[in-house]
Chains A and B, each alone.
Chain A
Amino acid sequence: MTDLDVSGTTFGVIVGSEPAPWAGPDEAPLESRPAGTDSATAAIVGPTRVAPPLMTPPLMTLPNRATSRTRSRRLPRSLERLAGVVALFLAWELASRAGWISPDILAGPSTVLTAGADLVRSGVLIESLWASLQRVLWGMAIGIPLGTALALASGLSRLGDNLVDANIQMLRFVPIIALQPLLVVWLGVGETVKVSLIVLGVAFPIYVNTSSAMKSLDPRYLELAEVVGLKRFQLIRRVVLPGALAGFLVGLRLATAIAWLLLVFAEQINATSGIGYLMTRAQLFFQTDLIVVGLITYAALGLLSDGLVRTLERVLLRWQPGR
């Protein structure tokens, strides 16, 4: 508890200090004199003050923890958000049951749920999921090292930068999806095309974000490295790479989102397995429930992988201020 009264005409000053267990008592003489007695700072400031009339100005009581309105919410925020989602699904279910939405247009949530459960039970969903997941995993397993290697090449040497960066900055503006015809001509219609598309889609954001993070590294840290005499290898390991980590992780998050997007695209062109194949087949028979199951699976996969990257960020960037 701290009590304080300031009367109408007072100029109050609060002086505080951190405790300093490291400043031993042997140094006391240096600190014993208050800093305020310094001759230059004690000079009189401003003209002589005319005293105002001694009257209490209008006062108000500030809200505190008990009385504050912003704190006493009816419901936690997450619960409110969840309620909105539940309401939407309820309305959807109701509309389906009442026959306002035909099953050929969009199946209701309960139908989708049953269809999904059937697919899980028969093993088809798991099989398709695995086929799709494999493509993404391969694409990332190749695309991430590729993008990182290119970023290192351009970030660590001027020659590398000149050779790599100009080309990539040019290719970056070609929509990856538009490369599909060319890739099919080169690689046929098998798995290789699908994985290649994802590789390209992953490598670009990884490259762009990592290399720009390396280039925008705070020059003060490079100065420090010079002052403490870091060798080139140490400079890369201790300063450049950790400094580029945040940029790399931003690239990784973009890359995961793009990987799923390209997967959907690749699987709907010509696939004989995977979630996209499941949905394309369902489309032929107007099985909207199966299509919705596919959509939900994609969404869940996207959400899950984004969560993984976020967790990775939280762990790897725990040194960042404000985390």
Chain B
Amino acid sequence: MIAVTPTATTQTVPPQTVPPQTVPPQTPISQATRPRSARPLAVSARGVTRTFGGREVLRGLDLDLGPGEFVALLGRSGSGKSTFLRALAGLDDGFDGVIEVPVQRSVVFQDARLLPWATVIDNVVLGLPPLEAPLAGLAALAEVGLEDHARDWPKTLSGGEAQRVALARALVRSPDLLLLDEPFGALDALTRIRMHVLVQRLWNRHQPAVLLVTHDVDEALLLADRVLVLTDGTISLDVAVDADRPRRVGDPRLVDLRSQLLSELGVDETAEGRSPADLPHPQLPNEHLPNQQGDTQP
């Protein structure tokens, strides 16, 4: 584990072999979501706060992720879920609080983000030591069914294929933590279903801890062991999804949970209901109207 703090990046414990040490937080812990036991952790976030121009996007967020756990993080657009993921990825060091993450971690973004000037295989092995790269890259491409496209340019791929290459690029690094930032958001509905299948298969095989950021409740229920809802900068709901795999969209065992999540997200499912904007929901500030929030008013 390494502790990512605003000021320093220090490697404290090798990942997964030793139970993680308790790192003294630099700011006071607000409150842990669950009692801290000796169970191994892949991610530990304590009191994470992130402010953009006076607006608190994350407010003392606490989160634990076990090794191999598949967790979905739901939230309305602008709720700060991508901000949190970027902090975990190490792309943003402007936060307060303490975050511990594995050294080996990979990110899949919403856009496949392939370098257009590099072939598919070169994109997959980007940054790997050149000796082990070609074989590992081809194996990873085979896992996502694209070994025949290894020498092609990214421009020849469809959206779904490009995202599969991005998955291969993430997996070839054998991550202990896989961060998925709305990776299926830009795909068409049919391709998305196939990607869900693929991601589950890859997760089964490699067993990384996964944090999936999404706004799709059905996707979260389909894939995750645990679903979190991010509201107002903190985790407002943390529920386990107990149904066995493989699951289906609209699984009857998950209907109640689905309703609960939707209402936590401020969505009224019934067609004759009012639109979410009309609903009185004081703890859900509309991020498009910053003036509704007290802290941004002059």
Instruction: Answer whether residue B113 sits at the interface, using C-beta atoms and an 8 A cutoff.
Output: yes
Residues of B close to A73: CB separation below 8 A: none
Q: How many angstroms from the CA of A228 to the CA of B179 in the assembled complex?
A: 12
Contact stretch, chosen from A13-21, A92-100, A107-115, A276-284: A13-21
Q: How many angstroms from the CA of A35 to the CA of B218 in the assembled complex?
A: 11
Residue of B nearest to A230 (CB): B127
Residue of A nearest to B159 (CB): A18
Instruction: Answer whether residue B281 sits at the interface, using C-beta atoms and an 8 A cutoff.
Output: no
Cross-chain contact A242 with B115 (CB below 8 angstroms): yes
Instruction: Answer whether residue A239 sits at the interface, using C-beta atoms and an 8 A cutoff.
Output: yes
Instruction: Answer whether residue B169 sits at the interface, using C-beta atoms and an 8 A cutoff.
Output: yes
Interface string of A283-323 (1 = CB under 8 A from B): 00000000000000000000000000000000000111100
Of B111, B189, B193, B269, which one neighbours A30 at CB under 8 angstroms?
Answer: B193
Cross-chain contact A33 with B249 (CB below 8 angstroms): yes
Residues of B close to A30: CB separation below 8 A: 193, 196-197, 200, 246-248
Of A35, A231, A239, which one neighbours B115 at CB under 8 angstroms?
Answer: A239
Residue of A nearest to B245 (CB): A30
Q: How many angstroms from the CA of A205 to the CA of B185 in the assembled complex?
A: 41
Give the number of residues in B that approach A within 8 Å (Cβ atoms).
Answer: 45
Contact stretch, chosen from A36-44, A167-175, A183-191: A36-44
Cross-chain contact A242 with B193 (CB below 8 angstroms): no
Residue of B nearest to A223 (CB): B91
Q: How many angstroms from the CA of A282 to the CA of B271 in the assembled complex?
A: 88
Instruction: Answer whether residue B106 sits at the interface, using C-beta atoms and an 8 A cutoff.
Output: yes
Q: How many angstroms from the CA of A35 to the CA of B90 in the assembled complex?
A: 36
Cross-chain contact A23 with B126 (CB below 8 angstroms): no
Cross-chain contact B201 with A27 (CB below 8 angstroms): yes
> How far in angstroms is the closest Cβ of chain B from A301?
31
Residues of B close to A35: CB separation below 8 A: 189-190, 193, 249
Residue of B nearest to A23 (CB): B194
Residue of B nearest to A245 (CB): B117
> How far in angstroms is the closest Cβ of chain A from B201?
7
Interface string of A234-250 (1 = CB under 8 A from B): 10001100110100000
Cross-chain contact A238 with B115 (CB below 8 angstroms): yes
Cross-chain contact A228 with B173 (CB below 8 angstroms): yes
Cross-chain contact A31 with B89 (CB below 8 angstroms): no
Instruction: Answer whether residue B65 sits at the interface, using C-beta atoms and an 8 A cutoff.
Output: no
Instruction: Answer whether residue A221 sits at the interface, using C-beta atoms and an 8 A cutoff.
Output: yes
Cross-chain contact B117 with A27 (CB below 8 angstroms): no
| Most A Cβ at <10 Å: residue of B116, B164, B269 | B116
| Most B Cβ at <10 Å: residue of A18, A29, A221, A320 | A18
Instruction: Answer whether residue A227 sits at the interface, using C-beta atoms and an 8 A cutoff.
Output: yes
Residues of B close to A224: CB separation below 8 A: 109, 113, 115, 126
Residues of A close to B126: CB separation below 8 A: 224, 228, 230, 238
Residues of B close to A22: CB separation below 8 A: 144-146, 164, 198
Give the number of residues in A that approach B within 8 Å (Cβ atoms).
Answer: 40
Residue of B nearest to A227 (CB): B107
> How far in angstroms is the closest Cβ of chain A from B214?
16
Instruction: Answer whether residue B186 sits at the interface, using C-beta atoms and an 8 A cutoff.
Output: no
Cross-chain contact B113 with A318 (CB below 8 angstroms): no
Cross-chain contact A243 with B201 (CB below 8 angstroms): no
Instruction: Answer whether residue A226 sits at the interface, using C-beta atoms and an 8 A cutoff.
Output: yes
Residues of B close to A231: CB separation below 8 A: 127
Residues of B close to A40: CB separation below 8 A: 269
Cross-chain contact A37 with B250 (CB below 8 angstroms): yes
Residues facing A in B249-280 (CB within 8 A) are: 249-250, 255, 269-271
Interface string of B76-92 (1 = CB under 8 A from A): 00000000000001110
Interface string of A209-230 (1 = CB under 8 A from B): 0000000000011011111111
Cross-chain contact B250 with A319 (CB below 8 angstroms): no
> How far in angstroms is the closest Cβ of chain A from B222?
8
Residues facing A in B106-138 (CB within 8 A) are: 106-107, 109, 111, 113, 115-118, 126-127
| Most B Cβ at <10 Å: residue of A20, A37, A221, A318 | A20
Query: Contacts A35-B189, A220-B111 hold; do A320 and B197 have CB atoms under 8 A apart?
Result: no
Of B144, B145, B271, which one neighbours A44 at CB under 8 angstroms?
Answer: B271
Residues facing B in A1-30 (CB within 8 A) are: 17-18, 20-23, 27, 29-30
Known A-B contacts: A17-B190, A22-B198, A224-B113. Give 16 more (CB < 8 A): A21-B145, A22-B146, A22-B164, A33-B249, A33-B250, A39-B255, A43-B271, A223-B91, A228-B126, A228-B169, A228-B173, A238-B126, A238-B127, A318-B153, A319-B154, A320-B116
Spell out B's residues near A (CB within 8 Å). 89-91, 106-107, 109, 111, 113, 115-118, 126-127, 144-146, 153-155, 158, 160, 164, 169, 173, 189-191, 193-194, 196-198, 200-201, 218, 246-250, 255, 269-271
In the assembled complex, 18 residue pairs joining A and B whose CB atoms fall closer than 8 Å, in A order, are: A18-B160, A18-B191, A22-B145, A23-B198, A27-B197, A27-B246, A30-B247, A30-B248, A31-B197, A33-B250, A35-B249, A38-B249, A43-B270, A220-B109, A242-B117, A319-B153, A320-B116, A321-B116
Which A-B residue pairs are the 3 nearest by beta carbons?
A22-B145, A43-B271, A242-B117
Spell out A's residues near B (CB within 8 Å). 17-18, 20-23, 27, 29-31, 33, 35, 37-40, 43-45, 220-221, 223-231, 234, 238-239, 242-243, 245, 318-321
